[in-house]
Amino acid sequence: MELNNRQERILEIVKQDGPITGEQIAERLNLTRATLRPDMAILTMSGILEARPRVGYFYSGKSPSKVFADKLHRIKTSEIKSVPVVVSEQCTVYDAVVTMFIEDVGTLFVVKGDGILDGVISRKDLLKITLGGQDINKLPVSVIMTRMPNIITVTLEDSVLTAAEKIINHEIDAVPVVKTVNNEYEVLGRVSKTNITRIFVEFGESDG
Ligand code: ADP
Nearest ligand 1 atom to the CA of 106 is: 3
Is the Cβ–Cβ distance between 82 and 175 less than 8 Å? no
User: Per the domain annotation, does 82 fall within a domain?
Assistant: yes
* Cis preceding linkage at 140, omega within 30: no
**Banded model confidence at residue 208, pLDDT cuts 50, 70, 90:** very low
**Banded model confidence at residue 47, pLDDT cuts 50, 70, 90:** confident
pLDDT digits (tens, 9 = 90+) for 14-27: 999 989 999 999 99
Based on the fold, state whether residues 90 and 155 are members of the same structural domain. yes
Based on the fold, state whether residues 86 and 125 are members of the same structural domain. yes
Q: What is the CATH number of the domain that holds 55?
A: 1.10.10.10
pLDDT digits (tens, 9 = 90+) for 103-127: 999 999 999 988 999 999 999 999 9
Is the Cβ–Cβ distance between 192 and 186 less than 8 Å? no
152 lines ligand 1 (CB under 6 A): yes
CA-to-CA dists, residue 79 to 130, 136, 173, 190, angstroms: 37, 37, 19, 11
Based on the fold, state whether residues 20 and 97 are members of the same structural domain. no
pLDDT of residue 207: 52
Based on the fold, state whether residues 58 and 145 are members of the same structural domain. no
Q: Whose CA is nearest to atom 5 of ligand 1?
A: 172
**pTM attached to this predicted model:** 0.77
Q: Domain limits at 114?
A: 77-199
